[in-house]
Amino acid sequence: MGRLGNFENIKNRQTIHTSNSYSVLDVEIDTDFHEACSSGLCDATEMEIPLFKYSEIPDFLQGNPYVVSGYRVSLPFNLCLKSIFKWNNETVNVWSHLGGFFIFLYLLLHDNIIYIPRFSGSYTDHVMVSLGLICYQFCMLCSAGFHMFACHSEKASKRWLAVDLAGISIGVIGCYLPAVHYAFYCLSIWRDIYLITITILTVTTMVIQLHPRYFSHRWSKWRIAIYMGLAGYGIIPTIHWIWLNGASSEIVQLFVPKVTTIYILGMIALVLYLSKFPERFYPGVFDFIGSSHQLWHIIVVCAFVFWHYAGQEILSASHIFDWVWSDIPVPVPGPGEALVKVIRAGICNTDLEIIKGYAGFQGIVGHEFIGKVEKVNPESEEGAWIGRRVAGEINVFCNVCDICKGDDYVRKRNHCPDRTVMGIVNKNGTYAEYLTLPLQNLFQIPENVTDLQACFVEPLAAACRIVEQGLVSTGEKVAIVGDGKLGLLIAEVMAQEDCHVTIFGRHWEKMNLCPEKITKVLSDGSEELINKYRDYFDVVVEVTGNMGGLMLTAEITRPLGTVVLKTTCASGGTEFNTSPFVVKEIKLIGSRCGPFANAIQFLKDGKINVDKLITKVYPFKEAINAIEHAGKKGTLKIQLKMD
């Protein structure tokens, strides 16, 4: 592969010499190559593709005098295709964007098959994400096509340049569509205004391309200015979005650096393109690889990929927007109910799963709270309740079914078949200023228990349920598998029962929050760890809900021991080996909601310190940021404080 010095005219059997004269080179090469290959007088697949210097190419191919060699000239289309497998100064330009096309094709399939279903995404989610990725793919193909076929002829070059520029416009739209849609997810008027505006600007840009001089070298700076304006328009909705959310809010702090990064990448690419760096300082050195246009291509692909992953975070945040903010009338308490003004609400992992679609719940999320009674129905009961600080059991039983007619309170509390469950099943929850609950569900909070502590009554009661079920005895060896919020609470409750407690987890910083008398074990899944604790514990409480935790639980529980399952939102798994449970005759027991009175007593007596489990308290107006924070790895308890 090299520059053609001379070649035979297959048609006339005359020797044609290349010349610095444009007219000779253009006529002779265009005629000989095209006619020879199309007439079948030569096999184009076996013909060496000639490469030329900058001084030898026609004007329509000129643009960067610092790339001095490696040019293809007047190739028929079949040789244009073949040339992408040969080194020339367009090889990297073509393959960087062909590669980009396949990257975005993979992401299109991955997001629609795997990522979006994780959020139980809607049809709109699939459409918006797909549109963005399809726009990127279109941009990549248009660019690759231009760099592949522009050398065919001046006419082909102009046509493919029009396609390339149209692809850039579509690529810019691909950046805007998902970002604007999800950033203004709850403000449909502004979302539509911005999307319509960017569509009009893009169509206008394409119409301008109809001008006969638009593709000339003299208009290159105007083309750059137009596309800079198209991309720079995004600053307007960005500033508007920051103003709406508050510059100090966590969601803004999370995404502004990403927006800044995408513009920095664009500016770097633009500076390289305009300055023709680095070839300007080393002409001929970067002809085949490393020139400014090739770097521009690579940065564009990286920027699109980066922005796509930033968009995934916007997508997840948008689902939180959809669940949190709405205005509804203050609820009216029914007979035997109280209207409670919420003081604080805790964010539980179950809430996060419900937001993602678990249990198919539609309504106000949340079930951990501390509030103050403002109204009671009937009014005759107001004297005993008005002004009290209360926490509330989340299960509202029907008082009608056979279970509820019986004397077993625990059974109807947890297992009434017609019960509603606050924030989980058919009853609005605690992420609101007001809620209603039956008086029988309410428990007064002692004066020495703070609002922060009282918000832990519900999860602490769930930990106390294990004792209420009679599953542990003094002196027994008890293991807790999982070092999340609930696991830490269970460990402390078990320690209060004078059990020998061991907690298995993956985070030393979490386990070290437990009292010193509780043994901490870093769970790495190693054979050495399993061998050390195999068949050791009388009772094992599994709190992770994942396969790894269940497998460890099966190994460390002694024969005829007890396994307690505390996770209602267990992760899915393809296989679960029940053999160890059968062979060792292990009792497998579920455990849910527990006694509020016991939990409140623990807090009143100061026997369990829940303050250390708080990661952060957010004002209610920043609920979106709070929920996003709660979902981050390593976070313990997040609470919402009502204004």
| CB environment 445-475: b (16+ within 10 A), e (fewer) | beeebebbbbbbbbbbbbbbbbbebebbeee
CATH of the domain at 349: 3.90.180.10
Q: State the pLDDT confidence band at 19, using cuts at 50, 70 and 90.
A: very low
370 lies in the same domain as 474: no
Q: State the pLDDT confidence band at 381, using cuts at 50, 70 and 90.
A: confident
477 lies in the same domain as 560: yes
Please check whether residue 111 lies inside any domain of the structure.
Answer: yes
pTM (2 decimals)? 0.58
Distance CA 643, CA 639 (A): 13
- Whether the pLDDT of residue 17 is over 50: the answer is no
Please check whether residue 275 lies inside any domain of the structure.
Answer: yes
CATH of the domain at 305: 1.20.1070
Could you say which of 259, 292, 324 is where a domain stops?
Answer: 324
396 lies in the same domain as 528: no
Q: Are 603 and 444 in contact (CB under 8 A)?
A: no
482 lies in the same domain as 515: yes
Please check whether residue 501 lies inside any domain of the structure.
Answer: yes
240 lies in the same domain as 121: yes
Please check whether residue 63 lies inside any domain of the structure.
Answer: no
Give the pLDDT of residue 25.
35
Residue 523 belongs to what domain range?
Answer: 470-590
- Whether the pLDDT of residue 2 is over 50: the answer is no
Distance CA 32, CA 38 (A): 10
Distance CA 348, CA 455 (A): 11
Helix (H, G, I), strand (E, B) or coil at 506: coil
Please check whether residue 14 lies inside any domain of the structure.
Answer: no
437 lies in the same domain as 529: no
571 lies in the same domain as 617: no
453 lies in the same domain as 495: no
Give the count of domains, the chain: 3
Distance CA 70, CA 92 (A): 12
190 lies in the same domain as 161: yes
Q: Which pairs count as long-range contacts for 212-221, CB under 8 Å and 24+ apart, including other chains?
A: 215/158, 215/161, 215/162, 217/62, 217/63, 220/63
631 lies in the same domain as 575: no
138 lies in the same domain as 230: yes
Please check whether residue 600 lies inside any domain of the structure.
Answer: no
- Give me the residues paired with residue 51 across strands: 3
Please check whether residue 143 lies inside any domain of the structure.
Answer: yes
Distance CA 56, CA 19 (A): 7
Query: To which H or E segment does residue 589 belong?
Result: strand 587-590
Q: Which residues, other chains included, contact 299 with Cβ-Cβ below 8 Å and sequence gap of 6+? A: 265, 268, 269, 272
CATH of the domain at 500: 3.40.50.720
Q: State the pLDDT confidence band at 123, using cuts at 50, 70 and 90.
A: confident
pLDDT per residue over 66-114, tens digit each?
999 999 999 999 999 999 999 999 999 999 999 999 999 999 999 999 8
Known binding-site residues equal 147, 293, 297
Q: State the pLDDT confidence band at 570, using cuts at 50, 70 and 90.
A: low
Known binding-site residues for Zn(2+) equal 147, 293, 297
pLDDT per residue over 269-292, tens digit each?
999 998 999 999 999 999 999 999
Please check whether residue 234 lies inside any domain of the structure.
Answer: yes
- Whether the pLDDT of residue 219 is over 80: the answer is no
Give the pLDDT of residue 623.
85
